[in-house]
Structure 1
Amino acid sequence: MSERAAGGKGTMSRFSLNQWTTKRWSVAEAVDGCVRHGVEAIGLWRQNVAEQGLDETVKLVADAGLRVSSLCRGGFLTSQDALDDNRRAIDEAAALNAACLVMVVGGLPGVAPGEPLGAFDRDLAGARERVAEALAVLAPYAGARGVRLALEPLHPVYCADRAVLSTLGQALDLAEPYPAEQVGVVVDTFHIWWDPQVLAQIARAGDRIASYQVCDFLHPLPADVLLGRGVMGDGVIDFAPLTRAVAEAGYTGDIEVEIFNADVWAADPDEVLTRVRTRFGELIEV
């Protein structure tokens, strides 16, 4: 195995800044920050791209010579009007030449993130079936446009409102009917570190790994558990076996640092980027 594939020397060139780690930055500011800090790849978010303008974002990224490691997000496939928005997301990912479109598949129909319960459907199995049905429509559309859908399992605490896929195994089961270059999976340390089957499922994933995202799982979690992601080394995750498993599965793509954390967002983005690159070198570049 080469040093690069093993996660050793050369891994830093695969460091990607997920835009929400430095959430205060616009697309233009994040691209500029990447250039100034010597970062070669960026993960973008659709709402930020929309604010900047898709065509302008394409130009900014191209002029800076950056790779787009992912576009986030498509998904929420359990809602009634998901298909049209996801087709738009696929078209945006194609325009950006993104390595993948991250798919956060959605929770129980009618349960909205951060909102009180109204009318909703408790049929969890039915919600998962809706995801499979929507994927059957969207996967060929994505494939025809050269876009890879990346199913992201989320920690079970988000099952009700964000993702009825909670394990890498569930995501792989949904992906397997499709070509690997059409439908892959996201390995996100925050969401999968707890799973006793995770190393075996990473090995099973092989060339379906479309994105490797890293951040830490804080303890105690904040009141808003969405913001429980920490800088690597500030929480409970042992990154070495996960990174090693991803490398041994054959993944050689970019590695995104994606952090949702109120204190990180309030800090100076340049200082944040310097800090996460240092921790990346210490804990991911092994």
Structure 2
Amino acid sequence: MSDTLPGGRPAAVETPAPADPRLDRLSLNQWTTRGWTLEQAVDGCVRHGIRSIGLWREKVAEHGPAAAARLVADAGLRVSSLCRGGFLTGDDGNLDDNRAAVDEAAALGAACLVLVVGGLPGVVPGGSPGGGLSRDLALARERVARALDVLAPYAGERGVRLALEPLHPMYCADRAVLSTLAQALDLADRHPVEQVGVVVDTFHVWWDPDVLAQIARAGDRIASYQVSDFLVPLPADVLLARGMMGDGVIDFGPLTAAVRAAGYRGDVEVEIFNADVWAADPDEVVATMKRRFVTEVPPM
């Protein structure tokens, strides 16, 4: 077996990674092995010795939150995050769906509920502008703030922590009007730290010249640390530009050191959106993920 996934860097020989205590904090985000059902993902974590899983609402919905929670708990796994809530920039702030997401996160005992806040009103993710388009970026961001004012106390009452995820600026129009960690922290700081935190995702923040200072600023606001690499050239669908650690251009050393110095002690999720990775054998993906986590991501 080679240490090469489709679209990844070549290697002549693949050898098992040595036992390493860093794997204790490794979490498999379900979207990395998107083809697996929830049962298969849980079983895969157990077989590969991974103790934590990041869940997606679509997969949880196939069982219902209570049954999904039992499945994960019976396997002895932690839930590092639930993805995703958000899309707060419409007229109604998507509040009903986000309250439901908070309730699901509570049932699952998730460490946080990731919020992808949404793009400009009237722009469908991955699509073209449609009816109701607003180019008022400042207004879209204000709608995010107003929705958080409603959702943060609701989450707090249920013991759920919201985690604002800034996305790379190329997604600003259709997925997230928060593009920097500083913007996410400015909103999070308006709420108690146990109610609203932030996600540090290497794919989305590596380019930011201020990112290390903002990670230090974040401190205990860091609710999730996610790692994947930034591939070049970008694919036609830029949503699928994430790669396995070591296959792209990100230097994980300074980012990981900054997150560690900020005091983060939670799980580290590998979240990869990549058509070639999804087409590969999920067991090979997980085995490669474990090796690359040890070789490419410095100790936390």
Residue deviations 1:75-105 (CA, integer Å, cap 9, x gap): 0000234000000000000000000000000
Residue deviations 1:192-220 (CA, integer Å, cap 9, x gap): 00000000000000000000000000000
Give the total of aligned pairs.
278
Following superposition of structure 1 onto structure 2, how do residues 167-206 of structure 1 map, counting pairs within 5 Å? 167-206=180-219
Q: Paired residue for 2:142?
A: 129
Uncovered stretches (5+) of structure 2, i.e. residues with no partner = 1-19
The answer to whether the Cα contact below 8 Å between 1:78 and 1:107 also exists between their aligned partners in 2 is yes
Residue deviations 1:232-264 (CA, integer Å, cap 9, x gap): 000000000000000000001000000000000
Deviation at 1:155, TM superposition (A): 0.1
In 1, Cα distance between equivalents of 2:262 and 2:41 = 31
* TM-score normalised to structure 1 length: 0.96
Which residue among 55, 59, 64 is the counterpart of 1:48?
59
Do structure 1's residue 159 and structure 2's residue 149 form an aligned pair?
A: no
In 2, Cα distance between equivalents of 1:42 and 1:24 = 15
Do structure 1's residue 98 and structure 2's residue 110 form an aligned pair?
A: yes
Deviation at 1:283, TM superposition (A): 1.2
Q: Paired residue for 2:39?
A: 28
Do structure 1's residue 240 and structure 2's residue 253 form an aligned pair?
A: yes
The answer to whether the Cα contact below 8 Å between 2:257 and 2:298 also exists between their aligned partners in 1 is no
Do structure 1's residue 253 and structure 2's residue 266 form an aligned pair?
A: yes
The answer to whether the Cα contact below 8 Å between 2:29 and 2:53 also exists between their aligned partners in 1 is yes
Secondary structure at the aligned position of 1:260 is classed as: coil
| Bigger mean CA deviation after superposition, 135-144 or 78-87 | 78-87
The answer to whether the Cα contact below 8 Å between 1:12 and 1:285 also exists between their aligned partners in 2 is no
Secondary structure at the aligned position of 1:241 is classed as: helix
Which residue among 160, 166, 170 is the counterpart of 1:147?
160
Do structure 1's residue 227 and structure 2's residue 240 form an aligned pair?
A: yes
Do structure 1's residue 78 and structure 2's residue 89 form an aligned pair?
A: yes
Residue deviations 1:96-149 (CA, integer Å, cap 9, x gap): 000000000000011001222212000000000000000000000000000000
In 2, Cα distance between equivalents of 1:132 and 1:116 = 25
* TM-score normalised to structure 2 length: 0.91
* Percent of aligned pairs with the same amino acid: 74
Secondary structure at the aligned position of 2:234 is classed as: coil
In 1, Cα distance between equivalents of 2:285 and 2:29 = 12
The answer to whether the Cα contact below 8 Å between 2:124 and 2:130 also exists between their aligned partners in 1 is no
Do structure 1's residue 215 and structure 2's residue 215 form an aligned pair?
A: no
Which residue among 65, 69, 86 is the counterpart of 2:76?
65
Kindly report the root-mean-square deviation, in angstroms, between the aligned alpha carbons of the 2 structures.
0.8
The answer to whether the Cα contact below 8 Å between 2:252 and 2:298 also exists between their aligned partners in 1 is no
The answer to whether the Cα contact below 8 Å between 1:70 and 1:101 also exists between their aligned partners in 2 is yes
The answer to whether the Cα contact below 8 Å between 1:216 and 1:233 also exists between their aligned partners in 2 is yes
Secondary structure at the aligned position of 2:84 is classed as: strand
Code of the residue aligned with 1:104 in structure 2: it is V
Code of the residue aligned with 1:111 in structure 2: it is V
In 1, Cα distance between equivalents of 2:253 and 2:63 = 37
Code of the residue aligned with 1:144 in structure 2: it is E
Deviation at 1:53, TM superposition (A): 2.4
Q: Paired residue for 1:265?
A: 278
In 1, Cα distance between equivalents of 2:298 and 2:284 = 20
Residue deviations 1:2-48 (CA, integer Å, cap 9, x gap): xxxxxxx6321000000000000011110000000000000000011
| Bigger mean CA deviation after superposition, 114-123 or 177-186 | 114-123
In 1, Cα distance between equivalents of 2:65 and 2:112 = 16
Deviation at 1:181, TM superposition (A): 1.0
Q: Paired residue for 2:289?
A: 276
Q: Paired residue for 1:115?
A: 127
Which residue among 97, 100, 106 is the counterpart of 1:88?
100
Deviation at 1:55, TM superposition (A): 2.1
Deviation at 1:51, TM superposition (A): 1.6
Deviation at 1:170, TM superposition (A): 0.2
